Chains A and B, each alone.
Chain A
């Protein structure tokens, strides 16, 4: 257990509304990641962070933004949710020097 929580765990929202998902960690890891998981696609990286205020895009970043104002929190925002963003979203931390990632429990987001 790497002390990672995600909130909310489930959310239903309407097309066009902004949505923010939160990832919280308790162990001061520098690197944090947001993925989405869709059938047939595995996990795809949306954005990642390598420190407070330091973020970069992953392979599926369009329509998403992130912020990291504190080491322990990494926020993912869907600026204007679309049905194609219906997915399960996982947050992860990377263990420094080890490179393995540990994942939060996931957030199931449905955009209607």
Chain B
């Protein structure tokens, strides 16, 4: 099983801030990583796959980077609609696993 550690678990930020979320793997996964955004009471939505490829329709202020064991999700200029919880997911091997989540809250 590949374990995933997301940090921080809680991030307080203001509109306009640059936000960076980290996802670290227990073993290398090449670039087989996705990022999701989840708002309260809603299903997760795919933001990024293959570590850095933006899903169609996702604003360009979101970006992903990394390979191997260390990955980041960056929101370049936080907007009000970006306050949510973010999850990473690896698909390098079964079982598919998710990080514990990072909640981005209003400072």
> A and B, one complex?
no
B-side residues, CB < 8 A to A, are: none
